[in-house]
Chain A
Amino acid sequence: MSASIELDGVGKRYGTVTAVCEVRLTIAAGEFLTLLGPSGCGKTTLLRMIAGFEAPTAGRILLGGEDITGVPPHRRPVNQVFQGYALFPHLSVRGNVAFGLRMRGVSPAELVRRVDEALALVSLEGLGERFPSELSGGQRQRVAVARAVVCRPQVLLLDEPFSALDAKLRQTMRAELQALQRRLGMTFVLVTHDQDEALALSDRIAVISAGALEQVGPPREIYHRPATAFVADFVGHANLVPAERIGGSAGRVAVRLAGGLEAGVPAECWPAGRKATRAVVRPEQVVLRPWRGDGRPAARARVTAVEFRGDREHLQVALQDGGGLTLTAVHPGGEGDRADFAVGAEVAIGIPADHLWFLPGG
């Protein structure tokens, strides 16, 4: 029912422009993998090559160990949920869902049964006779999903499936999609530029930039241990703080951050053999206190901007000794201590050493 995909040096060039450069990636059977990257990074091209709409100019694509590089899209056991859904406007919901089965010459009795099954799977029973124009955004997405999974593909491809939905609905549909993937045990490949979506849904995330893989790994690893500055900054917000090694002993490394903070960190966080690199400090790792003349390990800073987000506040704090370095910090949006963290207030900054991660590449 589900199969692995192997991208074996898959590349795509348009004339002199390289859209995707020789990607090597294996997606396990039953895995939920997300291709994450900014628009124009080549993630959609990669997905289209798996679907068969684009032919790679280099490499091979293997599905369950079988080379499908030259197989046209209608003969690939792969189905896609399109961005904007591409539902057939002249067919009812049932007609849309039945389309793939008809193309496969499924017998009428089985067709009816499987369409019913697929509609039940996405809780659209009773809406079968409606037309796409009579459905809400969420319902359309469900039809698109039902239409794709009814053919029992080995792999389901999803191209920005939530982009047409409003924020609230997006949350609901996200949860539904994840539940569906667990239930079907089908290999899912999702393309998105939304890091929240990627972090919430995926077993693994492949971060893509300028046509090349930046990092592949589980969401937690991507977030907490980014391999490159691009990944650190694209997935969540990151303060990249210059750091240098000032000593070390017995599995720990002593580090000094710009701004004067010093810390002893576990040796495996520090890239072996490097003298200096940059620390990845997530905004929620920055601990803020009102400044009361404390010394180390806190650094002194001044709040330069506050952005209210409801459940929390995003603060820009300028380090006093950091050579103009400004950090983003997250602070719970309580009302009681507002004056302590208003613009212009002096604050003490601490960064717990155990949460620090250092970019291997500097």
Chain B
Amino acid sequence: MAALPPTLRFPAAGARLLQAGLRGWTGLVLLFLYVPVLVLVVYSFNSARLGVVWEGFSGRWYAELLLQAPLQRSAFNSLVVAIATTIISVVLGTLGAWLLHRYRFPGRDLIESLVNLPMVMPEILLGISLLVLFALAGVGLGFTTVIIGHVTFSFPFVLVAVRARLQGLDPALEEAARDLGATPWGAFRRVILPALRPAIFAGGLMAFLLSWDELIVTYFTASAASATLPLKVFGMAKVGLNPVLNALSALFLLVTLVGVAFSAYLRCGARRPPPTFPR
């Protein structure tokens, strides 16, 4: 019997090498993604005023953050805008997805492709066009305009998520509900909506996060009073790097992470819905 090549005689050796290589590569990718964020978080605890040298652990920048009323004000603005955007996007996106899924009407295909456009449209274009529109309509810039701007590009994300879920849904579910005495609206509310819940949450979270860190559209549509956190941070960073910004960014990151964790929790919860029937 001829001697087998080493890779065949020890098939595990080659496979193990490949596996180690892949693991290393994955590690590098993750490092590439997260090192900047980690550095930022670590340096937010650096006591040095001029960023790059580590002088010692300190929470003073977080303390200083508490004293900066304008920052807190803009963080609050961000929250208001993000929550309003989420609610409006969820309602618009869900109903839009239902209409596109359930009904056939002239112009439906056109609407479907137009609705997806804001997702890929350059934000600067969106920002400028909104600004022009608001100016033409004589609408003063403020919370309303920021929220309208954010909803414009956020709700398609909800729509797409819900649409995908709808397409996977048994069309007989709605008929079963109707058959059992539900009106069209009743069938939607009691059967379709609960089935869509995971997609609505996912889309809503997406809308929240998109709005939460949106800069460019906000830049064009906000007034001084309705400036959001990213806008404020951007303004401060233009003046010069500031350890307070590190602390702020770390907190910003925290909010985002909480959002992501919340969605993961919801996804786990969705696997087995709680009984809603009284025992």
Give A contacts to B, CB under 8 Å: 51-53, 72-75, 78-80, 82-84, 86-92, 94-95, 98-100, 103-104, 108, 112, 128-129, 131, 147-148, 151
B176 pairs with A86, CB closer than 8 A: yes
B191 — nearest CB in chain A belongs to which residue?
A88
Question: How many Å from the CB of B245 to the closest CB on chain A?
Answer: 45
A88 pairs with B176, CB closer than 8 A: yes
How far, in whole Å, are A147 and B191 apart by their CA atoms in the complex? 15
B195 pairs with A74, CB closer than 8 A: no
Task: Report B-chain residues with C-beta under 8 Å of the C-beta of A72.
Answer: 178
How far, in whole Å, are A98 and B180 apart by their CA atoms in the complex? 10
How far, in whole Å, are A49 and B163 apart by their CA atoms in the complex? 28
Give the residue of A53, A90, A112, A148 whose beta carbon is less than 8 angstroms from that of B194.
A90
Task: Report B-chain residues with C-beta under 8 Å of the C-beta of A92.
Answer: 275-277
How far, in whole Å, are A89 and B275 apart by their CA atoms in the complex? 11
Task: Report A-chain residues with C-beta under 8 Å of the C-beta of B181.
Answer: 74-75, 100, 103-104, 151
Task: Report A-chain residues with C-beta under 8 Å of the C-beta of B173.
Answer: 86, 88
Residue from A83, A84, A89 having most chain B Cβ neighbours under 10 A: A89
Given the known interface contacts A100-B181, A129-B279, the answer about A53 and B195 at a Cβ–Cβ threshold of 8 Å is no
How far, in whole Å, are A148 and B178 apart by their CA atoms in the complex? 12
B172 pairs with A103, CB closer than 8 A: no
Residue from B179, B197, B276, B277 having most chain A Cβ neighbours under 10 A: B179
Q: List 21 A-B contacts (CB under 8 A).
A: A51-B179, A73-B175, A73-B178, A73-B179, A74-B183, A79-B179, A80-B179, A82-B172, A82-B176, A86-B170, A86-B176, A88-B173, A88-B191, A90-B195, A92-B277, A100-B180, A108-B278, A131-B272, A131-B273, A148-B179, A151-B181
B196 — nearest CB in chain A belongs to which residue?
A90
A86 pairs with B273, CB closer than 8 A: no
Task: Report A-chain residues with C-beta under 8 Å of the C-beta of B70.
Answer: none
How far, in whole Å, are A92 and B275 apart by their CA atoms in the complex? 6
Give B contacts to A, CB under 8 Å: 170, 172-173, 175-183, 186, 190-191, 194-195, 197, 272-273, 275-279
A74 pairs with B182, CB closer than 8 A: yes
Task: Report A-chain residues with C-beta under 8 Å of the C-beta of B180.
Answer: 74, 79, 99-100, 103, 147-148, 151
How far, in whole Å, are A359 and B225 apart by their CA atoms in the complex? 89
Question: How many Å from the CB of A163 to the closest CB on chain B?
Answer: 13
Give the residue of A79, A86, A129 whose beta carbon is less than 8 angstroms from that of B275.
A129
Residue from A75, A79, A103, A108 having most chain B Cβ neighbours under 10 A: A103
Task: Report A-chain residues with C-beta under 8 Å of the C-beta of B183.
Answer: 74
Residue from A90, A91, A99 having most chain B Cβ neighbours under 10 A: A90
How far, in whole Å, are A72 and B279 apart by their CA atoms in the complex? 33
Given the known interface contacts A74-B179, A74-B182, A99-B180, the answer about A89 and B195 at a Cβ–Cβ threshold of 8 Å is yes
How far, in whole Å, are A95 and B191 apart by their CA atoms in the complex? 11
B273 — nearest CB in chain A belongs to which residue?
A90
Given the known interface contacts A100-B180, A104-B181, A151-B180, the answer about A86 and B276 at a Cβ–Cβ threshold of 8 Å is no
